[in-house]
Structure 1
Amino acid sequence: MKTHDKGMIGELAVRKSLLEMGYSVFLPEVDNEQIDLIIEQDNGQFRRIQVKTVLTQKTSTSIEVNMLKYKNTGRVDVVAIYYAPKDIIAYVPYENQHSINLALTTGKNNQKKGRKWFYQYERFPEFS
């Protein structure tokens, strides 16, 4: 699958999800500003969303997306991670991390402490 096609599938899935949650969704006219979608929240605030589509797991228990090119740009508020094999989406507030790693299942060592779980981010985050 072409990279562009993969990205479009993820963007469509995220748009559908956000519309079902009741958000107004806006699309940038030009696709070169690191912003895939913009939503308006109930309080009138706008949030910039970068969509990442993941087709394979990084390990047997987790997925990872590289965010280096977005670090310190101030252009992204939320990263919407669409995991295509399970048709699920995580909405992670972006805090300038170089990558985002989310666990899908428990590892062999049963580690829970310090892990970020995909299911914890299935709702769009609230901002104050």
Structure 2
Amino acid sequence: MSRYEQYDRLGAPQKRGQATEAIVRAELVSRGVSVLVPEYDNEPYDLAIEIDGTFYRIQAKTAFEATTDGAVRFRTRSVRTKGSGYEREGYEGKIDIFAVYAPTREEVYLIPIEDVGETQMTIRYAPARNGNTKRVNWYEDYLLDAVLPSLGWNPVG
């Protein structure tokens, strides 16, 4: 059974979120990145990493297949259930990076908060059918191993 099939069988969004956090942590740790996890669950970030003396607050998100072929999408706002309905809140000033796990692709992306849209972001892994190439977020630019060096990370070895 593939990792995606295992992930898909989890069903509940909370379990999938926990799996996403664990996968992101494992991918970072396996590259020698120091990962810190907040003691409490009410922080706006899920973990922090330290690279070359600098700390980065990270929010882990799960990407889902976009409605357009060849892309995945994730939400850039938190949604909390309140007695009066749903509360949606952005992460500006609260995190530095989104770490996004795309189960269907089995890939982890790191996206600086400055690069995301107000409510969601689409990451394209195949050209659009309509041929659009403007303002496209290509997956290669956000792959974990593509972004970590820009943060000062040097591979273990």
Shift of 1:71: 4.1
Letter in 2 for 1:58: T
Inter-CA distance 80–58: structure 2 relative to 1 (3 Å threshold): farther
1:88 and 2:111 matched: no
1:113: which partner in 2? Answer: 134
Match 1:103 to one of 100, 124, 127: 124
Percent of aligned positions with the same letter in both sequences?
A: 29
Unaligned runs of 5+ in 2: 1-10, 78-88, 153-157
1:6 aligns with 2:16: yes
Find the counterpart in structure 2 of residue 49 from structure 1: 58
Give the TM-score normalised by the residue count of structure 2: 0.72
**1:38 counterpart letter in structure 2:** A
Matches of 1:54 and 1:113 in 2, distance apart? Answer: 21
* TM-score for both structures, normalised by structure 1: 0.87
Match of 1:32 among 35, 38, 42: 42
Aligned length: 126
Unaligned runs of 5+ in 1: none
Q: Which has the higher strand share?
A: 2
Q: Decide which structure has the larger Cα Rg and report it.
A: 2
Q: Distance in 1 between matches of 2:135 and 2:64?
A: 24
Deviation per residue, 1:79-100 (Å, 9 max, x gap): 0110011210110000263122
Find runs of 4+ consecutive structure 1 residues off by over 4 angstroms: none
Residue of 67, 84, 100 corresponding to 1:58? 67
Superposed CA RMSD in Å reads 1.8
Q: Residue type of the partner of 1:93?
A: P
Q: Give, in whole Å, the separation in 1 of the partners of 2:43 and 2:67.
A: 27
Q: Does 1:70 align with 2:90?
A: yes
Letter in 2 for 1:64: R
Equivalent pair of 1:71/1:97 in contact (CA under 8 Å):
no
Q: For residue 61 of structure 1, report the CA deviation from its aligned partner.
A: 2.1
Residue 94 of structure 1 aligns with an amino acid whose one-letter code is I
Shift of 1:57: 2.7
Residue 113 of structure 1 aligns to a residue whose secondary structure is coil
